[in-house]
Structure 1
Amino acid sequence: MKIRKYEGAGMILYHRDDNGNISILLEKRFDDHTWAIPGGGYSDKDKILLNTAIRETYEETGLSIRGADHVKTYRLPFFTYAVFSSELDREELPKRNWESEEIRWFPISDLPKGMNIITGIEIRNFLKKDERKCGLRN
């Protein structure tokens, strides 16, 4: 029996207010009732995982993303998942699709309980990279 490798990608959508405070868009998933970033499985028409993240973000939020930064790619023998981030000029109110119970912005200082474990790791990696990019950390 051949095991098919899973490939997917997710997008951390964030907004920085006038004081530099970051808010992140999360969706509460219908399937497991946890908060997570928009994302999903690779499709052959995507060609690359960045396109997967952009497509899934649009499908799940209605938000069009033009560009994104790579945060991290997680690789296991039968699993690859890439995480990207994209800054929005404002906290746009997204529309949710059938996969989400709820979708909303959370200040980074007040992330929700019931967050997917992987999402917590993804956000920590994003914040580390953001600190380095902004010159706050070596």
Structure 2
Amino acid sequence: MNYIQDMRQLIGSNLLMTVGCGIIIEQDGQILLQHRKDRDVWGIPGGVMEPGGTFLETAVRETYEETGLRTENLQLFGLYSGEEGYPEYQNGDQVYSVQIIFHTQEFSAELMQEGDESHEHRFFKPDELPKINSHQERFVNDWVNKASLPIVK
């Protein structure tokens, strides 16, 4: 079991505050996105921090688990909070998620296509993006618009 599952047993679907960490992986001006299995949307790799973890450890671990890539030389891309931090979950679980997003162009290993959470992974040009997870649109839009870093919202 993990922290989120443990908390859900205690509080049901009531509001739970989480910290999410992800990485914008860029190659040749393209962004790596994963096609999620739980919803028909695309987003950046990442996941929820477990108690005692660090932002960097969480981002690197989750990205490796989801993509098979080992990432290096991560730079802070942005800190995201506010009203957009309430993702919608089909099972009724309520969450307020603060997001810490990193950026890198340095990675190694072979890109895994299908995993537990995703159908596939693919690099996209900024003007050819698929349907993005609404909770992650602001990260991706900030990348497309080349916002000044780090972003604090």
Q: Please state if 1:101 is matched with 2:119.
A: yes
Supply the distance in 1 between the matched residues of 2:77 and 2:147 (Cα, whole angstroms). Answer: 12
Q: Please, what TM-score do these two structures have when normalized by structure 2?
A: 0.69
Q: Secondary structure at the match of 1:44?
A: coil
Q: How does 1:1-138 map to 2 (within 5 A)?
A: 3-16=15-28, 22-46=29-53, 48-76=54-82, 78-88=96-106, 93-95=110-112, 96-112=114-130, 114-128=131-145, 130=146, 132=148
1:7 deviates by 1.1
Conservation of the 8 A alpha-carbon contact between 2:70 and 2:107: no
1:32 deviates by 0.8
Q: Which amino acid aligns with 2:132?
A: M
Conservation of the 8 A alpha-carbon contact between 2:68 and 2:110: no
Q: Give the aligned CA root-mean-square deviation in angstroms.
A: 2.5
List alignment gaps of at least 5 residues for structure 2: 1-10, 86-95
Q: Please, what TM-score do these two structures have when normalized by structure 1?
A: 0.76
1:67 deviates by 2.1
Conservation of the 8 A alpha-carbon contact between 1:73 and 1:81: yes
Identity %: 28
1:79 deviates by 2.7
Task: Figure out how many residues of one structure are paired with residues of the other and give that number.
Answer: 124
